[in-house]
Chains A and B, each alone.
Chain A
């Protein structure tokens, strides 16, 4: 448990103190939201109808941004060796990294989103659901992302490879997350998509660490 906490703390610190870390993710997220009206026009009805999907697309891309930071630096400087020699099973090491990535991307984004909601004329009633859906959904995004990051860790400049691996797998999150928010705006019950979203996250939290740990053990065979 001590080791788990240490890895978590280490990765969170790396995320908060790196120039390309948490702050960049959050800024990128906000920028996508700011840019939308310039592309689609300032008409509030249009913005309102696209807002749920747009926030989720922005979240998808912003969490993608920090993924290169999750495993790659550890493979480059040999920290991965020490993690593998530590008493913690690799699956839990990865889980600590997933949580750390989430804290420095998804969590910040979900806290930021309610403040950006009004800029796209999103219903005030939908703000809590937007926040909550991002809160639970982005953990799953981090989990799937960590698996892809582990697979792509031996690839030089693996950013684009990462995106191609991750984005198709993230489509269910986009569908259920955006639907939950849209449901509130349409005065329907958001609980069904939220439940599906939570289920996706739970599956990702099981599959992600196992796949990532298997990928990181590749050299051992």
Chain B
């Protein structure tokens, strides 16, 4: 799959936040978005995910046969992991993951694999309200293990993670890239060796 952005622009309300954003990503490519708060990193990710409409420029997501993806196919081709925790205090960790598995169309047994991969097994029966910020974030990242998707859109994936989890995330993403996946991540910290970066907003 390929993602081609030409001269993207975005408004928040009627306020222009970025324009002239260009990039082209193919299998195995990663793009790290840098920029100060409010520079539109999350907005760009949401535009790529189709959660926000295109406000300017052209965005193409092509499948292997170079055909543009339909909206449904796009939904099925991507993971969107936001830094806002999707953890409700009323649900246990396992229940939360099972809910996400159902939304992703993943089988129930994927939940156990994801729990193991992100070292959440000891927390599986705790309610969401008992988790620390880092644990909540690990739970959000465990979505990545529930279902295979080609395009990963990660919003501040390193926030609140401990050293071990950070290196685990790096490994997971690297493996995804080696398998021909694409990662687009918004981050304040260097991520994935900053192979390819895109700076949004005024330079500090």
Contacts and interface: CB of A to CB of B under 8 A. Distances in A.
Interface stretch (B24-32, B97-105, B187-195, B196-204): B97-105
A45 to B, nearest CB: 45
A164 interface: no
B80 A79 contact: no
Given A77-B85, A87-B72, A87-B76, A18 B53 contact: no
Nearest to A218: B53
Report, as a range, how many residues of chain A touch the other chain: 20 to 34
Given A6-B98, A85-B78, A87-B75, A78 B53 contact: no
Report, as a range, how many residues of chain B touch the other chain: 20 to 34
Contacts of B78: 85
Nearest to A219: B52
Contact of B82 (A3, A10, A17, A81): A81
Interface in A16-56: 17-18
Interface in B71-96: 72, 75-76, 78, 80, 82, 84-86, 88, 90-91, 95
Nearest to A15: B90
Given A81-B51, A82-B80, A220-B51, A13 B95 contact: yes
A82 B103 contact: yes
A85 B84 contact: no
Interface string A199-221: 00000000000000000000111
A52 B53 CA distance: 49
A33 to B, nearest CB: 28
Contacts of B46: 81
A2 B105 contact: yes
A85 B49 CA distance: 8
A217 B100 CA distance: 20
A86 B75 contact: yes
B80 A81 contact: yes
Contacts of A84: 51, 75
Contacts of B38: none
B90 A83 contact: no
Contacts of A221: 53
A1 to B, nearest CB: 10
Contacts of B51: 81, 84-85, 219-220
Q: Which of A14, A18, A85 counts the most B-chain CB atoms under 10 A from its CB?
A: A85
B103 A77 contact: no
A220 B80 CA distance: 16
A170 to B, nearest CB: 28
B57 interface: no
Contacts of A10: 91, 99
A81 B84 CA distance: 11
Contact of B88 (A3, A14, A87): A14
B36 interface: no
Interface in A83-102: 83-87
A3 B80 contact: no
A5 interface: yes
Nearest to B76: A87
23 contacts: A3-B103, A6-B102, A7-B102, A7-B103, A13-B95, A14-B90, A17-B90, A17-B91, A73-B88, A77-B85, A78-B84, A79-B86, A81-B49, A81-B80, A82-B80, A84-B51, A85-B49, A85-B75, A86-B104, A86-B105, A87-B72, A220-B51, A220-B52
Given A13-B95, A17-B90, 9 more contacts: A2-B102, A6-B103, A13-B91, A14-B91, A81-B49, A85-B51, A85-B78, A86-B105, A220-B52
The 3 residue pairs across chains A and B that have the minimum distance between CB atoms: A6-B102, A17-B90, A86-B103
